[in-house]
Amino acid sequence: MAPLILNSLEKRFGSGAPAVRDLSLTVQEGRFLALLGPSGCGKTTVLRMIAGFEQPSDGSILLGERLLADAATMLPPERRNMAMVFQSYALWPHMTVAENVGYPLKVRKVAKEKARQKVREALSAVRLDAYADRRPAALSGGQRQRVALARCLVTEPDVVLLDEPLANLDRHLRQEMEETFREFHARSGATMIYVTHDQSEAMALATDVAVMSEGRLLQMAPPEEIYARPEGLVIGGLVGQGSILSLALPRTSSRSLDWPSLRVALDGSVAEGTEPAHVLVRPQDVLLDDAGLTGRVTSSFFEGERYALRIQLADGQSLRAFSRQPVRQGDAVGVVLQAGWRL
Ligand code: ADP
Ligand code: MG
């Protein structure tokens, strides 16, 4: 196996804005990459180009040294040793679970006994051993999804491509399936590329997150880094439940900010030598303390462990905060911003 390399990838459909533009990234062997971005930003198009269902208009796709596709070259999907799992599972209704999982082996004319063995292993990897003889109609949504995963395991692909595989499932099942995906990744050792518009899903599953917007790659990094050091307003607004404040910061300040500098910026007391900035503040970094800035609670919801608040500051800007103590809408509170990140 080898790294998957996308080089200045571009895809144009007709004359409008390109669906994918100048997208370059490398996925090292065995990594689990989440391709994250809002609907319509080009995620599926990237996946379809990798799989071989769509040809790049420009740029290239390589697996190690091997060129899979560029504007003049197009290796067919079956010669890329990849497997794609679709949102709509695409199981054959007239076949049993075992037959569905074994179908790719039948197409490849793998010997019967060997095929049976591989199907057994794949079903065991997704904990469906007991369901081999059922038909898809007799399974739950989560079980069907696991059949689709097992079917892609049997061919031992170098790269597994998943396009919003959990979008059709309810919340409870999604959490269970996230566990299955993590296990599947650990057991198969395959490189995985997982498309989603759900930031918490991307964070929970992946070893690396690539954030896309309007066909471009904005940032690619491990989840912790995307969360702690997001590059720019789009990612700042997408990842975590932060608030973005507009303020004037001293020109020399670093990207990582703390209370005294944030207080000064919000008080507006340093006019000279300042510049306008956007600062991301996470709710867990907002402390309710009478020594802080004055604010008013504009909404308060009890979430179970805590209250989720929206607080309006004197200058009209609003931010999210948490409180363990009951706080009511309309209450006056003091607000200390313990940490912020300049976007
Ligand atoms: P995402 O998966 O992030 O929601 P897509 O990759 O499906 O985004 O779509 C990106 C853009 O490309 C959209 O504007 C979509 O309308 C356009 N697009 C995708 N596939 C085609 C196609 N086959 N023909 C024309 N336009 C397409
Ligand atoms: Mg899509």
Model confidence pLDDT, tens digit, residues 293-343: 999 999 999 999 999 999 999 999 999 999 999 999 999 999 999 999 999
Query: What is the edge-to-edge ordering of all strands in the sheet holding 274-281?
Result: 243-250, 274-281, 339-342, 256-258
Distance in Å, CA 47 to ligand 2 centroid: 9
CATH number for the domain including 265?
Answer: 2.40.50.140
One domain for residues 156 and 44: yes
Residue nearest to atom 13 of ligand 1 (CA): 40
Which among 263, 242, 243, 265 is positioned nearest to 252, based on CA atoms? Answer: 265
Q: How far apart are CA 101 and CA 116, in angstroms?
A: 10
Range of the domain at 293: 243-342
Q: 283: which DSSP letter?
A: G
Asked if residue 39 has its Cβ within 6 Å of ligand 1, the reply is: yes
Confidence at residue 142, expressed as pLDDT on a 0 to 100 scale: 82
**What pLDDT score was predicted for residue 48?**
96
Structural domain ending residue among the three candidates 234, 252, 269:
234
Over residues 203-219, the mean pLDDT reads: 96
Q: For residues 96 and 21, state if they share a domain.
A: yes
What's the CA angle centered on 77, arms 65 and 68, to 5 degrees? 20
Q: Measured in angstroms, how far is the CA atom of residue 12 from the centroid of ligand 1? A: 10
Query: In this structure, are 296 and 331 located in the same domain?
Result: yes
The domain total for the chain is 2
Domain boundary among 202, 234, 266: 234
Residues 219 and 248 in one domain: no
- Choose the weakest-confidence range: 81-90, 220-229, 297-306, 318-327: 81-90
Closest-CA residue, ligand 1 atom 17, reads 19
Give CA–CA dist 160/191, Å, rounded.
Answer: 6
CA 260, CA 199: separation in Å to the nearest integer?
Answer: 31
Q: Is the CB of 44 under 6 A from ligand 1?
A: yes
Top mutation candidate among 9, 11, 12, 13 for ligand 1, by most atoms within 8 Å of CB: 13
Higher pLDDT, 93 or 189: 93
Q: Are 336 and 287 in contact (CB under 8 A)?
A: yes
Residues 164 and 59 in one domain: yes
Whether ipTM > 0.85 holds is yes
Q: Which two tokens stand for residue 95?
A: 């076949």
Note the Cα 297 to chain centre separation in Å: 32
pTM comes to 0.87
pLDDT for 155 beyond 90: no
Q: Is the beta carbon of 42 within 6 A of some atom in ligand 1?
A: yes
DSSP string, 109-174: T--HHHHHHHHHHHHHHTT-GGGTTS-GGGS-HHHHHHHHHHHHHTT--SEEEEESTTTTS-HHHH
Q: Are residues 224 and 322 in the same domain?
A: no
Q: Quick one: 258 and 185 in the same domain? A: no
- Judged by its nearest atom, the ligand closest to the C-alpha of residue 23 is 1
- Pocket probe for ligand 1: among 10, 44, 162, the residue whose CB has the most ligand atoms within 8 Å is 44
The SS3 assignment for 17 reads coil
Same domain, 109 and 28: yes
Lookup: tokens for 54: 């769509």
DSSP per residue, 56-95: -SEEEEEETTEEEEESS-B--GGGTTEEEE-TT----TTS
252 shares a domain with 274: yes
Which atom from ligand 1 is nearest to the alpha carbon of 41? 3
On the question of pLDDT at 87 being above 70, the answer is no
In order, the DSSP letters of 182-212 are HHHHHHH--EEEEEES-HHHHHHH-SEEEEE
More confident residue, 190 or 24: 24
pLDDT at residue 190 in the model: 85
- The enclosing domain of 150 has a CATH number of 3.40.50.300
- Strands 159-163 and 286-302, bridge-based pairing: unpaired
Last residue of some domain: 168, 199, 234? 234
Residue nearest atom 27 of ligand 1, based on CA coordinates: 13
Between CA 70 and CA 56 the distance in angstroms is 6
pLDDT (0 to 100) of residue 274: 87
The answer on 185 and 262 residing in a single domain is no
- Distance in angstroms (rounded) separating the CA atoms of residues 120 and 125: 9
pLDDT value at position 92? 92
- Sheet with strand 32-36: strands edge to edge: 82-85, 159-163, 191-196, 32-36, 208-213, 216-221
